[in-house]
Chain A
Amino acid sequence: MLDFALIGHRFNKFTVSIDAFRLKIFAQAIGERNPVYFDEAAAKNAGYPDILAPLTFIYCLNDDQPDPSAAITLFGLKVQHVLHAEQEIVPYRLLFAGEKLTGQMSIADAFEKKGGQLKFIVCDTAFRDSSDEIVARLVSTLVVRDE
Chain B
Amino acid sequence: MNNQFPEISVGDTLPPLITEPITRTQLAYYMAGSGDYFPVHVDIDFARNEAGLPDVIGHGMLTMAFVGRLLTDWCFQGAVKRLSARFVQVTRVGDVIVCTGGVKSISPGEDDETVATIVLAAKNQNDEIVLKGEAQVLVR
Residues of B within 8 Å of A36, CB to CB, are: 1
For A, the interface residue count at a CB cutoff of 8 angstroms equals 35
Contact of A56 among B32, B78, B83, B87 (CB under 8 A): B83
Contact B64 A56 (CB under 8 A): yes
- The 0/1 profile, CB within 8 Å of B marked 1, for residues 82-109 of chain A is 0111111111011000000000000000
A25 at the interface (CB under 8 A from B): yes
A34 at the interface (CB under 8 A from B): yes
Q: Give the residue name and chain of the A residue nearest to B37 (CB).
A: A63
Cβ of B43 to closest chain A Cβ, rounded Å? 14
- Contact flags (1/0) for A31-68 with B, using CB distance below 8 Å? 11010100000000011000010111001100110000
Complex interface bits, A10-33 against B, C-beta within 8 A gives 1, otherwise 0: 000000000000110111111110
Distance of A47 from chain B, by nearest CB (Å): 7
With both chains docked as a complex, state the minimum distance between the C-beta of B34 and any C-beta of chain A, in angstroms: 5
Complex contacts, B36 vs chain A, CB 8 Å: 60, 63
Contact B34 A63 (CB under 8 A): yes
The SS class assigned to the B binding surface is helix
Give chain A nearest CB distance to B15 CB in angstroms.
14
The answer for the CA separation of A83 and B86 in the assembled complex, in Å, is: 11
B residues contacting the other copy or chain, number (CB 8 A): 35
Write out the residue numbers on chain B whose beta carbons fall within 8 Å of the beta carbon of A80: 50-51
Closest Cβ–Cβ distance, residue B79 to chain A (whole Å): 10
Question: Do A30 and B87 touch across chains, with their CB atoms under 8 A apart?
Answer: no
Q: Give the distance in Å from the alpha carbon of A86 to the alpha carbon of B66 in the complex.
A: 15
Does B60 touch A at the CB level, under 8 Å? yes
A106 to chain B, nearest CB (A): 18
Query: Chain B residues in contact with chain A, CB under 8 A?
Result: 1, 3, 19-20, 26, 29-30, 32-36, 50-51, 60-62, 64-66, 68-69, 71-73, 77-78, 80-87
List 8 tightest A-B contacts by C-beta distance, closest first.
Answer: A26-B33, A55-B68, A29-B29, A29-B30, A25-B33, A30-B65, A88-B84, A60-B34
Known contacts A22-B32, A30-B33, A55-B68, then 7 further A-B pairs from the complex at CB < 8 Å, ordered by chain A residue? A29-B34, A30-B69, A31-B66, A52-B77, A55-B65, A60-B35, A91-B81
